[in-house]
Amino acid sequence: MSNAYDVLIIGGGPAGLAAGLYASRSKLNTILLETNSQLGGQVSTYHEMENYPGVLDTTAPELMDNFKEHAKSFGTKIEKAEVQEVETGDFIKTIKTKDGIKYQAKSVIVATGAEPRRLGVPGEEEFKGKGVSYCATCDADFFVDLEVVVVGNGNSAIEEALYLTKFASKVTVIVIHDQGTMDADKIYQERAYQNDKIEFVWNSTLEEVKGEGLVDTAVLKNVKTGEKTDFSCDGIFIFIGRVPRTDFLEGIVDLTDNGYIKTNDKLETSVPGVYAAGDVRNKFLRQVVTAAADGATTAAAAGGYIEEEEYWQENVLEAEEDVLVAFWSPTNEESLKMTGKLENMDLEAKGVKLVKIDTYKNTRISNRYDVTEVPTLLKIEDGEVAEKITQPTETEIEELI
């Protein structure tokens, strides 16, 4: 199949691009699918980038361009496509796009990130793109010398409010908390308080969006008194968190109640060979640097998974003869003795193939066959377990053969 790859990455943000870089550099045939024409994910919609280690003078879009070029330089193939379905098999996964194209991959890395959360208030959807925005970097230049409202008080909201002051004549931040209390880091709070163009409305939320063709009024509600006020403005920017893009994975991998992907320490999902990186997974810190680290981790884990599975498929499941699988550990003396005996028994002459599995390096195969002690022997016939013996005696080994 021409659309067959070792690793398929869904999402072209920092996590996906870092995964592409590391996977391609490891000589894995890698493709990255991104819904949008512009790579970089949510990061590319910001401007400032001052906390990526070792990079002192760059913008967010510039950094993402560098991520893209770096991944492509090692051979990552990048295509524009929206993934709608992932089918998981024993080893090969099938990925279907909105356009009906099918891809096959031995491992899949989900790096779809999260999109801006909607408030769901009256007028929000109606005025989207007509004064309601979720991206200051994208739309700030439409509001030169105009007055805008920012809803939210986290890092993203305050950072975007500061950016908007470069264009708008006035930026009013709507904060749900008491005066002087915000969720943003102190450094952002201090910058906002010191900016003459920024003002605050405390203990309030956005209740409704109004306008005649374009936004001209934000209806604010005081959360303590319940009083509603018409606030005149030319635009409303909403930054109240994000929602993970995992709709296409419901029922496929384990998700949290909020829709984030659950992962283990190798960032593998509940499905073997399917990994998650970046903002889409359940994690403590969501930053460009942690997304990039996730990408590197998933690429390395995917490479190990592919190597282990290919070896098992080729040497055990697809073997023409019976296979004796010896699970051993270099730190276990009994298992070393067992493998030594097996190697000296001329098994080939008896029509039996010997495969040794180091339980330290090949945890996946050990776990799959519930091998908790070494030495353990499995006899595989036609790809199925015919017999399993833990701590086998010499007599038991002879009988097994």
Which residues are the active-site residues?
135, 138-139
* Distance separating alpha carbons of residues 75 and 178, to the nearest angstrom: 52
Please, what is the end-to-end C-alpha distance for the chain in angstroms? 39
State how far the alpha carbon of 121 is from the alpha carbons of 118, 220, 221, 232, in Å.
8, 11, 12, 17
- Closest alpha carbon to 205 in 180, 235, 236, 169: 236
At residue 379, φ and ψ (nearest 5 deg) are -110, 120
Contact 275, 108 (CB under 8 A): yes
Is there a contact between 175 and 202 (Cβ–Cβ < 8 Å)? yes
Measured distance CA(132)–CA(134) in Å, rounded: 7
Number of H helices, E strands in the chain: 9, 21
Task: Please state, in angstroms and rounded to a whole number, the distance separating the CA atoms of residues 337 and 44.
Answer: 58
Closest CA to 166 of 196, 193, 132, 199: 196
Task: Supply 30's token pair.
Answer: 């890698």
Q: Say if CB 322 and CB 348 are below 8 A apart.
A: no
Distances (CA, A) of 294 to 34, 96, 165, 274, 365: 18, 24, 34, 13, 24
Residue 163 to residue 253: CA distance in whole angstroms: 38
Q: Which residues pair with 322 in a beta bridge?
A: 352
**Three-class secondary structure of residue 306 per DSSP:** helix
- Bridge partner residues of 222 (DSSP): 204
**Residues 318, 323: Cα–Cα separation, whole Å:** 10
Distance, CA of 45 to CA of 135 (rounded, Å): 6
Beta strands 114-116 and 132-133 are unpaired
User: Rg of the Cα trace of the chain?
Assistant: 28
Contacts of 197 (CB under 8 A, 6+ apart): 165, 168, 169, 170, 171
